[in-house]
Amino acid sequence: MRSKYAGLLYISPWLAGFLLLTLYPFLSSLYYSFTQYNIIKTPVFAGWNNFIYMFTKDPDFTRSLKVTFQYVLLAVPLKLAFALLVALVLNLPAKGMSLFRTLYYLPSILGGSIAVSVLWKFLFMREGVVNKLFQGLGLPVQDWLGDPRLALFTISLLPAWEFGSSMVIFLAGLKQIPHELYEAARVDGAARTRVFSSITLPLLAPVIVFNLVMQTIGAFQQFTAAFVITGGGPVKSTYLYGMLLYDNAFHYFKMGYASALSWVLFLILLAVTFILMKAANRYAYYEDGGAF
């Protein structure tokens, strides 16, 4: 009995934090999503009004949702492809590889911060470093942040630079692939592309699925890059869902409507995650025969 209470005592800080900082705000936002609430006044129950307005009268909702899906489809594959490429290179046996792994992980430590977003803005502004390089190579200068056709692609490149966490997970997965399989393929004279497609990718599939799910969830919640680099412009071509939620909550003080927006995003993430899991269970190989 004493050991039972001792265990509860040890987890009490985490339990208190979970109840006060996670569960209570989570349930409160569900209640506020059915109210008209501006922080100052007492919430007034409004039924489904917030959701009706969202789906029928708010043009920014459909616009930001479309932009967010485009951002996810651009940013997530770029980030995962670059992370896997770097992981494959860092998995090669070479002297000083531990140092290189540490250096390549550093951008992930700084990733998502305002400072990195400001740096990205200075790189791609009209008189920035990227256009200076284009001029030096004799290429036409681009308005990366001012052209609606390029702005979303420009901010989608930022997550690809912040590949550290995905790269480490890929590297751990590569370390778990038995070397005997590679040796057998080498004896059979298999080309490197065949080895990659027949051994590396199938055995790395569960890790790819995990990274895909986590990065997709993070991309749907992206806010900092669009807010700092473009402010949602030009002509709202980078107006992500996170910015819509932020504006309604802290600019217009429509906390009830912002809570409704957050719950719609939550349901979208549940649906997308469910689809990815189903696809993973169908196509991914699991050594123990189980499912994700």
Going from N- to C-terminal start, the domains of the chain cover: 53-283
Looking at residue 73, its pLDDT comes to: 96
pLDDT tens-digit map of 52-96: 999 999 999 999 999 999 999 999 999 999 999 988 888 887 777
Sequence-distant (≥ 6) Cβ neighbours of residue 59 within 8 angstroms: none
User: Which single residue is written with the structure tokens 């991914």?
Assistant: 284
Contacts of 74 (CB under 8 A, 6+ apart): 152, 153, 156
Residue that has been written with the tokens 């980030």 in this structure: 79
Q: Cα(10)–Cα(205) distance, rounded to whole angstroms?
A: 37
What is the rounded distance in angstroms from the CA atom of residue 76 to the CA atom of residue 163?
Answer: 10
- Residue % of the chain over a pLDDT of 70: 92
Please give the residue that has the higher pLDDT: either 116 or 69: 69
Burial of 262 (0-12, 13-18, 19+ CB in 10 A): buried
Total residue count of the chain as it appears in this document: 292
Q: Given a cut of 90, is residue 25 above it in pLDDT? A: yes
Tally of CB atoms within 10 A around 208: 18
19: exposed, middle or buried (Cβ count in 10 Å: 0-12, 13-18, 19+): exposed
Please state the rounded mean pLDDT for residues 106-131.
Answer: 81
Exposure b/e, 212-245, CB count within 10 A at least 16 = b: bbebbebbbebebbbbbbbebebebbbbbbbbbb
Tell which residue, 165, 152, 153, has the closest CA to residue 218: 165
Residue 143: count other Cβ atoms within 10 Å of its Cβ.
Answer: 16
Bridge partners, 35 (sequence order)? 45
Q: What is the pLDDT of residue 115?
A: 80
Residue 289 has pLDDT above 60, yes or no: no
pLDDT score recorded for residue 159? 85
Q: Can you read off the two tokens belonging to residue 48?
A: 């489904």
Fold for the domain defined by 53-283: MetI-like fold (1.10.3720)
Strands 35-36 and 44-45: antiparallel
pLDDT for position 77? 94
Predicted confidence at residue 231, as pLDDT, reads 92
Do 126 and 141 form a contact (C-beta atoms < 8 A)? yes
The predicted pLDDT at position 108 comes to 65
At 240-287, the pLDDT tens digits run 999 999 999 999 999 999 999 999 999 999 999 999 988 877 766 666
pLDDT at 3 over 60: yes
**Confidence band (pLDDT; 50, 70, 90) for 98?**
confident
The residues, any chain, with a CB within 8 Å of residue 215's CB and separated by 6 or more, are 76, 79, 80, 159, 166
Residue 291 pLDDT: 55
The pLDDT of 33-41, averaged and rounded, is 92
Tokens at 287, concatenated: 């050594």
Dump strand ranges (E) for the chain: 35-36, 44-45
pLDDT per position as a tens digit, 184-222: 988 888 888 888 888 888 889 889 999 999 999 999 999
- Mean of the per-residue pLDDT values for the chain? 88
